[in-house]
Amino acid sequence: MEDEERLADLIKGGLAGEGFAVDVAHDGRDGLWMATENTYDVIVLDVMLPRMNGYALCSRLREAGDWTPIMMLTAKDGIYDEAEALDNGADDYLSKPFSYVVLLARLRALVRRGGRERPVSISVGDLVLDPAGLRCRRGETDIALTPKEFAVLHALARRAGEVVSKSDLLAQAWDFSYDGDPNIVEVYISALRRKIDVPFGRATLVTVRGAGYRLEAA
């Protein structure tokens, strides 16, 4: 107990020196509560905690949908314990005694990888484009689009509120070598209106005669 608190203080001091802000909980329940109430970059967790052990706390958090990176500290060093920690949802573990250098390095690795990249989706009013899924929705309604339709709409949405010329659309949605009838753009505009405007009684896809088309911004 004394030991654990000294260790906690040590870690806290060291991490603070590295620029982390640190909260310390001295038992499992408190830890769980703090973790659910706050958002942390990373959680460092001792397996042997009063009132709720590390494994339990870990899986509780995961069940609750909390995917904050967790570093588990364990006194035992049987390999199956390590595996158990990981399978309980920890992201990494460290067996005591461990070196401070290693702890910091591992925490840095955890934090760095913690949160990042989110699929980009484009919104224009209540119209949402999902490039990863090649589909779109207006409000709550899913709209099925063919790849070509999506490409055209995407080109328009990326410049929502601006006029996009027919040749720009051709350049962006069609193969570079395409040299067919430019009328094809009109055909696709027509199809898009039938899908994203007409059923909703809207008119967001506007023709600008002699210049191109504009997707009305919010």
Partner DNA sequence: AGGGATCTTCAGGCTGGCTTTAGGTGGGTC
Partner DNA sequence: GACCCACCTAAAGCCAGCCTGAAGATCCCT
Q: What residues line the site for DNA (CB under 7 A)?
A: 144, 146-149, 166, 174-175, 178, 180-181, 183-184, 186-190, 193-194, 207, 209-212
Nearest to DNA of 55, 174 (CB atom) = 174
Asked if residue 99 binds a copy of itself (CB under 8 A), the reply is yes
C-alpha of 67 from chain center? 11
Nearest C-alpha neighbor of 87 from the set 58, 110, 65, 61 = 58
Instruction: Give the Cα separation of 42 and 114 in Å (integer).
Output: 8
Residue 52 sits at the vertex; the CA angle it makes with 47 and 56, to the nearest 5 degrees, is: 70
89 touches which of a copy of itself, DNA, none (CB within 5 to 8 A by kind)? a copy of itself
Q: Pattern 30-69, binding to a copy of itself, x per CB under 8 A?
A: --------------------------------x----x-x
| 136 within 8 A of 151, measured Cβ to Cβ | no
Nearest to a copy of itself of 162, 186 (CB atom) = 162
Q: Quickly count: other Cβ atoms within 10 Å of residue 118's Cβ.
A: 6
Nearest to DNA of 171, 187 (CB atom) = 187
Of the residues 6, 29, 113, 194, which one makes contact with a copy of itself according to CB under 8 A:
113
Nearest C-alpha neighbor of 164 from the set 144, 198, 188 = 188
Least distance in angstroms from the C-beta of 29 to DNA = 27
Least distance in angstroms from the C-beta of 91 to a copy of itself = 5
For residue 96, give every residue at least 6 positions away whose Cβ sits within 8 Å of its Cβ, in sequence order, or none.
73, 74, 75
